[in-house]
Structure 1
Amino acid sequence: MSTVYVDADACPVKKEIISISKIYDLDVVFVASHAHKKNTPDQGKWVYVDSSKEAADLYIMNHVRAHDVLVTQDIGLASLVLPKKVYAISPRGKAYKEESIVTALDYRYVAAKERRKGNYGKGPKPFTNEDREMFRLQFDKMLSNIAGEM
């Protein structure tokens, strides 16, 4: 049985993850830093890790297994779980794929190089209702495909 892991600190689609995962009877594990601890967390299991930069990533890397699902905005983390046969999707509904992740990492590297030179772009566009709906559609499709494979 697959588990859905969520890189939860800045995830805008937590409620959607819970509602869609219930349809497929999947457990959801939200991984967040202690700095983002909620007094009344959403449903699902919540794991709190150190506030250090990579703590949530390390927890996820050490716990995901083949056929699990990861929801993350972190391209680097997605690139590390894909070889483990983990499905990965962004909160905007973009499924990360092994064949295209290298290009995304290259783009991230070039953007980081430019920022170090003092050249800052506009940053990410605001999260919209269309992004939320795209996530709902793609996440449901992904979970349906996984259920069909099992």
Structure 2
Amino acid sequence: MIYVDADACPVKAEAEAVATRHGVEIAFVSNGGLRPSHNPLVRMVYVAEGPDEADKWIAEQCGAGDVVVTNDIPLAARCVEAGARVVKPNGERLTAANVGNALATRDLMTDLRAADPFRQGGGKGFTKADRARFRDALERAMRG
């Protein structure tokens, strides 16, 4: 099973294509606002409004052998702990070996942004190369 933290996920179409190629069910989990797919392998899961409701649902459902697509580092840590393989939309794999560092970096960046309220964005745009890296990483994750 593939679980996608879908509210702000830029690679939903790519994830669905990989799931279809492998004949694996995929769940797009969100607070709503996503168009249903006609693909019989796609399950739309709408959770209650509120912070982290989709994250809570995914963390409770996923387990060994599942793949989770998310940019949310705390969710990724919970999923890795449950035995799932985690892929970020940019193609980065989060594993037991690196998710702790990712959490620490996230916390540090949160503290830096809080210390400088005038610091704005600075993130890069999402590119075709990011999409290609994601597809490749998800294919590898599907194989184990």
Could you tell me the TM-score, scaled by structure 2's length? 0.91
Taking only the aligned residue pairs, the percentage that are identical comes to 31
* Separation in 2, partners of 1:108, 1:65: 24
Matches within 5 A, 1:36-115: 37-38=33-34, 40-42=35-37, 43=39, 44-115=42-113
| Superposed displacement of residue 83, structure 1 | 1.4
Structure 2 letter corresponding to 1:8 = A
SS of 2:98's equivalent? Answer: helix
Cα distance in 1 for residues equivalent to 2:78 and 2:125: 26
Classify the secondary structure of the residue corresponding to 2:97.
helix
Partner Cα separation in structure 2 for residue 95 and residue 77 of structure 1 = 13
Q: How big is the shift at 1:118?
A: 2.2
Give the Cα–Cα distance (whole angstroms) in 1 for the partners of residues 84 and 8 of structure 2. Answer: 21
CA distance in 2, matches of 1:87, 1:129: 23
Q: Distance in 2 between matches of 1:53 and 1:137?
A: 30
Higher helix share: 1
C-alpha distance after superposition, 1:4-43 (max 9, x if no partner): 0000001111111111111211000000013xx23x3234
- Structure 1 length as normaliser, TM-score? 0.87
**What SS is found at the alignment partner of 1:73?**
coil
Cα distance, 1:51 vs structure 2: 2.1
Q: Which amino acid counterpart does residue 128 of structure 1 have in structure 2?
A: T
Unaligned runs of 5+ in 2: none
User: 5+ residue gaps in structure 1?
Assistant: none
Aligned length: 140
- The list of structure 1 runs, each at least 4 consecutive aligned residues, that deviate by more than 6 angstroms after superposition, is none
